Amino acid sequence: MASNNSRSKTSFDNMKYEIAGQLGINLKQGYNGDLTSREAGTIGGNIVKKVFQSYTGNQYPQVDTNQQSK
């Protein structure tokens, strides 16, 4: 049981660093208190999108935030 949990944590960490690298965010192992909330949220949001896509096989729905409701 512990090895499966350890494998998931490693996969999650790898995904986190991969996404941060793609976004140009300097994420280091250990303390990352120098990250802004926006940077941390961007990494987390992209992780959610990637997990959603792998789970459903679909793209995460895009929302147009520039469109005003009438």
Per-residue pLDDT of 22-51, as tens digits, reads: 999 999 998 999 999 999 999 999 999 888
Residue 11, in any domain of the structure: yes
Residue 37, in any domain of the structure: yes
Residue 65, in any domain of the structure: no
Give the 3-state secondary structure of the chain.
CHHHHHHHHHHHHHHHHHHHHHHCCCCCCCCCCCCCHHHHHHHHHHHHHHHHHHHHCCCCCCCCCCCCCC
Residue 42, in any domain of the structure: yes
Residue 68, in any domain of the structure: no
Residue 61, in any domain of the structure: no
Residue-number span of the structural domain to which 51 is assigned: 2-24+31-56
**What is the rounded CA–CA span in Å between residue 47 and residue 55?**
12
Sequence-separated (6 or more) residues with CB below 8 Å from residue 59: 53
Number of structural domains found in the chain: 1
Q: What is the mean pLDDT of residues 41-63?
A: 83
pTM exceeding 0.85: no
**What is the rounded CA–CA span in Å between residue 8 and residue 3?**
9
Residue 69, in any domain of the structure: no
